[in-house]
Chains A and B, each alone.
Chain A
Amino acid sequence: MTKKANLNYSVQEMISKNKKSNSLGNLVEKLVPIFLLFCAIVSVLTTIGIVFTLLKESLTFFTKVSLKDFYFGTEWSPWTDKFGVAPLITGTLLITVIAICVALPIGLAAAIYLSEYASEKVRRTIKPILEILAGIPTVVYGFFALTFVSPLLGEIFTDMKIFNALSAGIVVGIMIIPMIASLSEDAMSAVPRSLRDGALGLGATKFEVAIKVVLPAALSGIIASVVLAISRAIGETMIVTIAAGATPNMTFDPTQSIQTLTAFIVQGATGDTSYHSVIYNSIYAVGFTLFVFTLLMNILSQYISRKFREDY
């Protein structure tokens, strides 16, 4: 009888002890999700911070310079109070167009080769090597553009400036090749084998399979990768700062020196600009323009890959 009571008591004691030690555990169980949520909110706060800082300083800028002068003015010369952003935008466009002209054919051809022709072994070797190109710091590309590509092009085009849009654009193109190649290859590899086998069985050549079956089926992924690459080219800073020059020029002549949106932000931030001067505010207005461009491109890319995805 006493033994049984004892036993009862010890079980109850064990349970209450257990409850006590568990209360710390319970606290952890409750606090951890709150801490994790707090961390997750940091990324949201970052976005809010970006939009807020860009907007705030841009609005200050637009109290000093009118919106009309900024977006429709055609001369950018902040040190003499001329704030027409058009030359910076055409400069950015010029670089982007040259870069895509280099990267699209090479990247797409490499993707088709890797996905449709290459053996598994070749694919596994070449793809990581191509991806090294994506890991090289942009300051290294800038160095390469200025010290190698520019002098080389100077031999061909005699009236070429040392700092020019062409060499910077080509090197930005080299930088985004792996992006287009890798993402497009992923999209093509995702096309099911049965589609290829069907076409091959009907007597199509590998080239016909690639162009008429795989490419259309993977088109959404390919376009998304190109749009993403365009966004990277627009936002690229160091290559254009080092190799494209610092003369805001409203020209589409690639042998000329130009300035991009990003390159001006670097120039404006490193130059002798005091806090809250017009030039200080202007780098935010330019940054905001840049942010909107790249954001639109990213959203477009996500939209394309979601909307036009072919599911098999």
Chain B
Amino acid sequence: MHTNNTSKLKNRVILNKLFKLLFIFATSIALLFLGVLIYRILSQGLDYLTIDFLKNYPAPYIEEAGIFAGLMGSLFMIAITAPVAIILGVSTAIYLEEYAKQNKFTRFIQVNVQNLAGVPSIVFGLLGLTFFVYMLELGYTLIAGALTMSLLVLPVIVVAAQEAIRSVPKELRDASIGMGATKWQTIWRIVLPASIPGILTGSILALSRAIGETAPLIIVGAAAAIYTIPDSIFSKYTVMPMQIWSWTSRPQEEWQYVAAAGIIVLLIILLCMNAIAVWIRNKFQNRY
């Protein structure tokens, strides 16, 4: 009886160790994927990543091809998307957290925002195609693409801003109201400054998603071959992911290396944005 129990216990302990190894193994596989992905892209692209590559427009010859048009296009697009999405998103969050009454309409907006966040990005592209490109007759222009992107990142910014605003303690608001400040003065001078770090972090992360997004921009007509940088919001445009996609889908193998170089530039920009977001979070995080 006693030996039976010990052997059972032994089995259970062995099982525990075995599965611990298995769990570690699975986690390392996930990390390995990331490592292989980054190694592959660096080893393929680094040789092609030159100053000329950053300065050149897309070209039919590998030596002359560059990502300048895509880089500038992405920057211009974010320059429009960021203010539109952040103003709309933060306003929505303030409304929901500070003004809205607890009724069916408020709950409807809330559920709606959650569901919008789960809509595939390509469906936003279809909305942009019908509404911005055809109905507002903007055509395949920078502004149509940027507005489509604004709607895409809007729900993410709303949710992040709501969380940031919610984390501001009630005592701060009460103190401000008690000093005679009005509701809007309290929001503008107390609540918003206190929640800015959270709002910025969430917004930067959302915008970095917009920079990497390709599918909706294909639908609203970002071009692959553009030889100028946009000179107005109604110009044709291209963005980095579009360039990478067009290089990836060429049959000659050498274009893969050009695509890899483009991916390195894209990843570096995303890395910088994420680093800034993390820095803001750590630097300005208020603990109440």
Contacts and interface: CB of A to CB of B under 8 A. Distances in A.
Interface of A: 25, 28-29, 32-33, 35-37, 39-44, 46-47, 49-50, 53-54, 56-57, 105-107, 109-110, 112-114, 117, 126, 129-130, 132-133, 135-144, 146-148, 174, 177-178, 181, 205-208, 228, 231, 234-238, 241-242, 262, 265-266, 269-270, 275, 283-284, 287, 290-291, 294-295, 297-299, 302
B27 A135 contact: no
A294 B119 contact: yes
B92 A36 contact: yes
Given A109-B27, A148-B36, A298-B118, A135 B208 contact: yes
Contacts of B191: none
Which of the listed residues A46, A126, A140 has the most CB atoms from chain B within 10 Å of its own CB?
A140
Interface in B23-64: 23-27, 29-31, 33-34, 36-37, 40-41, 44
B149 interface: no
Interface residues of B, number: 83
Contact of A110 (B23, B109, B154): B23
A33 B101 CA distance: 12
A140 B92 contact: no
Contacts of A178: 30
Given A43-B92, A207-B16, A284 B126 contact: yes
Given A106-B26, A238-B245, A294-B120, A42 B154 contact: yes
Nearest to A209: B16
A126 B35 CA distance: 13
Contacts of A37: 95, 99
A273 B153 CA distance: 28
Contacts, number: 241
B78 interface: no
Interface of B: 12-13, 15-16, 19-20, 22-27, 29-31, 33-34, 36-37, 40-41, 44, 87-88, 91-92, 94-96, 99-100, 108-109, 112-116, 118-127, 129-131, 134, 151, 154-155, 158, 182-185, 205, 208-209, 211-215, 218-219, 241, 244-245, 248-249, 256, 259-260, 263, 266-267, 270, 274
B137 to A, nearest CB: 12
B267 A136 contact: yes
B119 A42 contact: no
A130 B30 CA distance: 7
B260 A54 contact: no
| A-B residue pairs, 8 tightest by C-beta | A235-B120, A137-B212, A109-B26, A39-B91, A113-B23, A36-B95, A298-B118, A237-B215
A134 B131 CA distance: 30
A43 B29 CA distance: 39
B33 to A, nearest CB: 5
Nearest to A134: B209
A207 B122 contact: no
Contacts of B215: 138, 237-238, 241, 262, 266
Nearest to B15: A207
A287 B122 contact: yes
Contacts of A205: 12-13, 15-16
